[in-house]
Amino acid sequence: MPGTGGCMTLAPSRSSGLEGGCLCGRCRFTIYRIDEIVECHCLRCRRLSGGAPVTWVCMSRDGISWTRAPSIWLSSTIADRGFCPTCGCMLWMAYRFNSEVAVPLGSLDERGDLASERRIHAQEAE
């Protein structure tokens, strides 16, 4: 997943950042830079989202800031997942072996023209 594609610097009109958060509003974030957008079909994403693949907006750790961060759960040996402790929204995925992190596309306040650029773990799709 890391190391491919160019860095997508947000358009000047969005230079203040893209905002998003969970359903209840407890956890809020601002994204300053997007590396890529992928649609993940892995088993964990499908289970955690309730069956559908998850579209992830990916960035490095310093490309996002939280006003109130989600609770972290170690979903596998390679990645952490984050959830709002109040409403349960999945808000976060972070690899343990590099600096790549991601938030679901659906958690953004305004999706704009952002869309998935490629599928990953598609072989796990049923």
Give residues in contact with Zn ion (CB under 5 A).
Answer: 22, 24, 26, 40, 42, 45, 84, 86-87
CB of 24 to Zn ion, least distance (A): 3
Looking at the Cβ atoms of 9 and 76, the one nearer to Zn ion is 76
d(CA 33, CA 47): 28
20 token code pair: 């998003």
- How far apart are CB 38 and Zn ion at their closest, in Å? 9
Judged by beta carbon, residue 59 or residue 84, the one nearer Zn ion is 84
- Least distance (Å) from Zn ion to the CB of residue 98? 15
E strand or H helix that includes residue 45? helix 43-49
